[in-house]
Amino acid sequence: MDAFRSLPVANISDVMSRMTAGGAALRPYFTGGMMVGPAITVKARPGDNLMVHKALDIAEPGDIVVVDAGGDLTNAIIGELMVAHAIQRGLGGIVINGAIRDSAELSAGSFPVFALGVTHRGPYKDGPGEVNVPISIGGMVINPGDLVCGDADGFLSVQMDDAESIFAAATKKHEAETKQMEAIRAGKNDRAWVDAALAKLGCVTA
């Protein structure tokens, strides 16, 4: 998992055929850094965070608590107090398919938090909910124990069985882009592929 911290999420996404993502609306509310860790999943009733509290209590250090709260923005699922508890327990981050509050404080901190939006209205604590079950966010299925990666571009989930091959492919992609950036800065970037692609599509250029 630590090895994935050296890779941009965009490169991981590229080698996963650009078909895996938690949705463009799910944005980071923290300052810099990379979120990497195994998922402990929560399926919560929209607006209710009882099972999220339980997940925070049973998660192991480094775990990422990933919550499908139905994408509802009516009530915040977490805020500053719950994040402080997660930090104290050494967790690796929190992803909320729903709303948060205390956004200014969370955004100024380095603890990884992702959410769909912000509201000052607090949550209920009545349930129901489930912990460590398969969930789906933005069409991306996340199973308990999946490797979750996130940075300023968003987050995605990698099945642990595929992690080694995806890491190798993403590393190769990242190295290629690093070399390309060096060529761009040196004014030596090969752009012949653009006209080749247009010609293949039957586009005639002047």
pLDDT of residue 49: 98
Q: State the Cα–Cα distance between residues 148 and 168, nearest whole angstrom.
A: 17
- pLDDT category at 118 given cuts 50, 70, 90 is very high
User: Is residue 56 over pLDDT 90?
Assistant: yes
pLDDT single digits (tens) 125-158: 999 999 999 999 988 999 999 999 999 999 999 9
Report CA-CA distances (Å) from 29 to 16, 78, 106, 118, 128: 25, 12, 6, 10, 27
Q: Among 182, 149, 180, 145, which residue's Cα sits nearest to residue 167?
A: 149
Task: Name residue 85's amino acid.
Answer: H
Q: How much of the chain, in percent, has pLDDT values that exceed 90?
A: 90
Residue 33 φ then ψ, to 5°: 85, 175
- pLDDT category at 109 given cuts 50, 70, 90 is very high
Mean per-residue pLDDT, 176-199: 93
- Alpha-carbon dihedral of residues 7, 90, 125, 143, nearest 10 degrees? 40
pLDDT of residue 175: 95
pLDDT of residue 21: 80
Mean per-residue pLDDT, 96-105: 98
- pLDDT category at 5 given cuts 50, 70, 90 is very high
User: Is residue 33 over pLDDT 90?
Assistant: no
- Alpha-carbon dihedral of residues 139, 107, 69, 55, nearest 10 degrees? 110
User: Is residue 206 over pLDDT 80?
Assistant: no
pLDDT of residue 23: 80
Residue 80 φ then ψ, to 5°: -60, -40
Mean per-residue pLDDT, 164-185: 95
User: Is residue 88 over pLDDT 90?
Assistant: yes
Q: Among 162, 32, 166, which residue's Cα sits nearest to residue 93?
A: 32
What burial class does residue 17 get, using C-beta atoms within 10 Å of its C-beta: 0-12 exposed, 13-18 middle, 19+ buried? exposed
Higher pLDDT among residues 195 and 51, named by residue: 51
- pLDDT category at 19 given cuts 50, 70, 90 is confident
User: Is residue 18 over pLDDT 90?
Assistant: no
